[in-house]
Structure 1
Amino acid sequence: MEEKLAYIEEAEQPIAMHPKKFALWLFIVSVVMIFAALTSAFIVRQGEGNWLDYDLPQILWFTSGIILLSSASLHWAYVSAKNDQLTNLKVALSVTTVLGIAFLIGQWYSWVALVERDVYFVGNPAGSFMYVLTGLHAAHLISGVIFLIIVLISSFRYKIHSQRMNTMEMCATYWHFLGGLWIYLFVFLLLNH
């Protein structure tokens, strides 16, 4: 009888993932595929010629710094939630949300700077790609800011803490992904504009 109990205790746990986390990862993979396709198309089209040469707006350096800071502040929020430091959690989530909105405002001003340099959505494909890449990222970042606001509201309702981390983990995963995606796009544009 003891041998049977020992065997049962040593049974392996199946590898499992929360269904919402799995859906998030599927979504992230699809976004990666979209941006991989767009950056590949960018390179192919650039090689065909008739490509407008222009300087990237300087504000993109600033927005890149903002997105890195927002990842740091969200990590602070994650650690705070894990340690049940609920005041720090609320502050860090608020800071991250404000930085996310500041990033979007900075992206808008980068488009204004592009227009001032006669780089438009229509006309030369170089401009079209620039607007599509940054605009599509901005659309995903808007969804990230909405997710942050939902998590922030949940934190004020004390629904985010060390025993309920699922939503916080998903938000952090998505936000860090968006930050990494932006850094990839920014470096790509620096090297290929």
Structure 2
Amino acid sequence: MERELKYVDMEEQPISMHPKKFALWLFMVTVVMVFAGLTSAYIVRQSEGNWLDYELPAIFWLTSGIAVMSSLTLQWASYSARKDNFVNLKTGMVLTVLLGIAFLVGQWYSWVAMVDREVFFVGNPSGSFLYVFTGLHAVHLISGVIFLIIVLISTFRLKVHSRAMIPMEMATTYWHFLGGLWLYLFMFLLLNH
């Protein structure tokens, strides 16, 4: 008895992604391109001379630790949402929002430290770049904190759970991105200031 092999032409399934997630990824790619351009401009301008050497504010180490901790608490919240553990979800979200605000406050104090060292936005381009990097990142961070607060409110209304993860997944992706972006900027400045 012979078996006949048949070729079945299967229709290809398109790669699908939630439209809001896709928009978020496009936005993050744009942000990467902006910061890649800025860091490239920094290196080119630094090589031209007339560059002020200064010590980076020590608070950058603290804000970097806060960024890592906030990513961990948000990941814990996301995991808790998948398991419908609402107590841990709410706790993780509250901690993440507080850490996000603490990061912003830390960035403000880094500017205060730079002014105390007489490194200003206007004047030497090395200081200008530092203010542009941290200021532009802070603007994105403010949007991230607002996004986290929206998800936090949804969490307390029990709208984030294992069957409704899109807002949590988007907030987690964006927040991890912002944390990674900050760590990149901090390492870049450590190596190139």
Provide the TM-score with structure 2 as the length reference: 0.94
Match of 2:72 in 1: 72
1:123 Cα deviation from its structure 2 partner: 0.3
1:87 Cα deviation from its structure 2 partner: 1.1
Match of 1:129 in 2: 129
Match of 1:3 in 2: none
In 2: Cα distance, 1:61 partner to 1:16 partner: 39
Residues 111-159 of structure 1: per-residue CA shift (max 9 Å, x gap):
0000000100000000000000000000000000000000000001110
1:11 Cα deviation from its structure 2 partner: 5.8
Match of 2:59 in 1: 59
Residues 64-110 of structure 1: per-residue CA shift (max 9 Å, x gap):
00000000000000000000001110110000000000000000000
The secondary structure found in structure 2 opposite 1:94 is helix
1:12 Cα deviation from its structure 2 partner: 5.3
Higher share of residues assigned helix: 1
Q: What stretches of structure 2 of length at least 5 have no aligned partner?
A: 1-7
In 1: Cα distance, 2:15 partner to 2:58 partner: 46
Residues 147-191 of structure 1: per-residue CA shift (max 9 Å, x gap):
000000000111000000001000000000000000000000000
Equivalent residue pairs, number: 186
Match of 2:89 in 1: 89
Within the alignment, does 1:35 sit opposite 2:35 as a pair?
A: yes
Pairs within 5 Å for 1:96-175: 96-175=96-175
In 2: Cα distance, 1:143 partner to 1:149 partner: 10
Pairs within 5 Å for 1:180-191: 180-191=180-191
Q: What stretches of structure 1 of length at least 5 have no aligned partner?
A: 1-6
- Give every structure 1 segment of 4 or more consecutive aligned residues whose post-TM-superposition deviation is greater than 6 Å: none
1:13 Cα deviation from its structure 2 partner: 3.7
Provide the TM-score with structure 1 as the length reference: 0.94
Percent of residue pairs bearing the same amino acid type = 70
Match of 1:23 in 2: 23
